Every structure is written in C-alpha cells, then in structure tokens.
Amino acid sequence: MPSHAQGAGHASRTDPWWSNTEDTGFTLIELMMVIAMIGILSSLGTMNYVGYLERARVVKAVAEIEILEKEIMAYELENDSWPNTLADIDRQNLLDPWGNPYQYLNFDTIAGGGVGKKRKDRWNNPLNFDFDLYSMGPDGLSVTALTAAQSRDDIVRANDGQYIGPASDY
C-alpha cells in the first residue's frame, strides 16, 4: 500500500495540479489579467454614470424651463405684457445645470419684433412667436439657427411652449 505521507507541503502524484501547496501566490500574468478586468468593468461603469448624469441635467433644464415659462405667463397675465428680462420675474440669477444663465428674449422689446434674433428651426422658421427661452447646454454656446453646431446641445422651448427639450431632437 503506497504511503501518502510525503512530507508537509508536498502534493502527491494523484493530487490535481491546482492543489500544490507550494504554489501559494499569483503569477504576474494572473495579476495583470485581474487588474485589466477591473479596469474594463470600472470604465464601463464610469461611462454609464457620466451618461446618466448628462441625461439628468437635461431633465432638470427642461423642468426649469417649464417653470420659467409658467412664471413668464403669470407675469403676462398680471401686467398685460411679457417681462423685459428674467429679472422682472426675479429669476436673473437662475443658472442651468451646466452653470450658464438661462436665455430669454421678449420679442416685443426688440425693434422689428426681433426677427433677426429669433431662434430658427431647420427650415429657417422662428421657433416661437411670443418669446424665446432656452439653455445654451453643456458647451455654453448658441446661435439663432438650431442647425448650427453651437446650438445642437441647447435645451429649447419651441412652438410657443408645445416642445421643450434638446434642440437636436426638435
């Protein structure tokens, strides 16, 4: 009968290769593979988190534009005119989720009805006929045409309030 006692710390010939008690550490290749897997998983999680944060900022901007629109309309009901600026409704210091002030344009206060300053859609038609209200989005840049690169990330109010959302989706 063969003896299995070959001394402490030694595996017998019948033991599987992974049970060798002399191999107690990880190889460099194993450690590099684990680190690479952790890096890949964390980068995927980070990308998803950043995307989630950006969507949350858009939702917040849409909600704030809806609130501003209601306050502007309430002002108009009380005063029979649109406010000249957001300061008239005490919202001059309100910043969008990217840290930029919201943009408001009362067409009645601009010579010629603000034709040249009105935001335009892809067919060069004005977005609104009462007033413009929007966030300049993450880049903080904007021009009147929504088709321009600087305006694609803006959060806009269009069709006199029938649409509020990203300019790229309008």
Question: Domains along the chain?
Answer: 26-169 (3.30.700.10)
Average pLDDT over residues 64-90: 97
* pLDDT at residue 117, as a whole number: 83
- Mean of the per-residue pLDDT values of the chain: 87
Gap between the Cα atoms of 108 and 84, Å rounded: 8
pLDDT digits (tens, 9 = 90+) for 116-158: 789 999 999 999 999 999 999 999 999 999 999 999 999 999 9
163-166: strand order across its sheet = 103-106, 131-135, 155-158, 163-166
Paired residues of 104 in beta bridges: 133
pLDDT on residue 147? 93
Q: How much is the pTM?
A: 0.74
